[in-house]
């Protein structure tokens, strides 16, 4: 069966390769010092979508990302790997969004795309590590969701079968479409970029990128539909502005501090009530908890 699949992807600072200037003096991430990359688990999600496309002729894979204009790179990277089209949701009104405001904006944008059979996204982004956006989007759209997926095993007769990685093993779940699935980093790695697709889509741009640069290929982009990446601002989605950006973000950061892990001697506790009680007492007294 042909499917209409949406992949949610995010451009993130590469926090895996941090140098000494990765944090500012104020304790926030110095985005300028870190390369902007495709969030790793979103690549795992894209691979699951592309595999379904390989198995189900007629399937389309659309990628949606929210971020600044340069996040169009995420769409291009997806096109190079086999996605069919993409949209960038970009507006100053979204600045400062926490997971609630982000999932609200994304869910409003997703309504623009009509009937979606399956939304696939990475479990979490390496900059925030919340794992909240996927589930919140499902909730806002009233969709079923399966989290921590390691493999989408099949989609048959509107039933999706997913292998899910849980703490002590795996679960195989089935559920009806439409469904939102979040994918773990333990899932299959994403395929490499494809040479022909790379050459085909290398000039794909959102309108704002074309305006901002002096590229010689504007005419080419305008004459080829597949080179036009969709760009949506707040005016292109139906939403309540008060739920966007900072005003829609109840999360308030009290303090950020650098935590340096220091390995010290280890202690072994048995499962006896006495041992657990003494551990809790110790953790409360040194303010680790409480």
Which of residues 226 and 269 has its CB atom nearest to another protein in the complex?
A: 226
Site residues (vs another protein, CB under 8 A): 17, 191-200, 202, 217, 220, 224, 226
Which of residues 37 and 133 has its CB atom nearest to another protein in the complex?
A: 37
Which of residues 118 and 190 has its CB atom nearest to another protein in the complex?
A: 190
d(CA 69, CA 163): 35
Which of residues 140 and 224 has its CB atom nearest to another protein in the complex?
A: 224
Q: What is the DSSP string of 118-174?
A: EEEEES--TTT----HHHHHHHHHT-EEEEEEEEEEEEETTEEEEEEEETTEEEEEE
In angstroms, give the least distance from the CB of 59 to another protein: 18
Phi, psi angles (nearest 5°) of residue 130 = -90, -30
Segment holding 106, helix H or strand E: helix 99-111
In angstroms, give the least distance from the CB of 203 to another protein: 9
In angstroms, give the least distance from the CB of 133 to another protein: 25
d(CA 273, CA 43): 45
Q: Tokens representing 160?
A: 């999706």
Phi, psi angles (nearest 5°) of residue 52 = -65, -35
In angstroms, give the least distance from the CB of 173 to another protein: 29
Which of residues 116 and 210 has its CB atom nearest to another protein in the complex?
A: 210
In angstroms, give the least distance from the CB of 259 to another protein: 27
């Amino acid at each position: 069966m042909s499917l209409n699949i949406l992949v949610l992807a995010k451009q993130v600072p590469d926090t895996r390769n941090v140098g000494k200037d990765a944090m500012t003096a104020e304790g926030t991430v110095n985005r300028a010092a870190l390369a902007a990359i495709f969030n790793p688990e979103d690549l795992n999600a894209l691979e699951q979508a592309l595999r379904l496309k390989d198995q189900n002729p007629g399937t389309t894979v659309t990628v949606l990302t929210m971020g600044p204009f340069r996040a169009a790179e995420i769409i291009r990277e997806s096109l190079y790997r086999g996605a069919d089209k993409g949209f960038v949701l970009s507006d100053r009104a979204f600045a400062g969004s926490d997971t609630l405001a982000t999932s609200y904006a994304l869910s409003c944008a997703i309504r623009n795309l009509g009937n979606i059979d399956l939304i696939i996204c990475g479990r979490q982004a390496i900059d925030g590590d919340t794992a909240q956006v996927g589930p919140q989007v499902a909730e806002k759209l009233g969709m079923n969701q399966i989290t921590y997926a390691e493999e989408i095993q099949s989609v048959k007769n509107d039933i999706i079968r997913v292998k899910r990685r849980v703490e002590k093993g795996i679960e195989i779940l089935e559920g009806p479409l439409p469904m939102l699935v979040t994918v773990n980093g333990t899932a299959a790695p994403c395929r490499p970029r494809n040479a022909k697709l790379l050459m085909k889509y290398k000039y794909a741009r959102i309108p704002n990128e074309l305006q901002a640069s002096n590229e010689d290929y504007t005419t080419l982009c305008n004459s080829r539909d597949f080179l036009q990446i969709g760009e949506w601002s707040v005016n292109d989605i139906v939403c309540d502005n008060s739920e966007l950006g900072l005003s829609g973000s109840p999360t308030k950061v009290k303090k950020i501090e650098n935590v340096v892990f220091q390995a010290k001697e280890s202690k072994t506790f048995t499962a006896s009530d006495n041992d657990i009680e003494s551990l809790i007492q110790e953790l409360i007294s040194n303010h680790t908890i409480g």
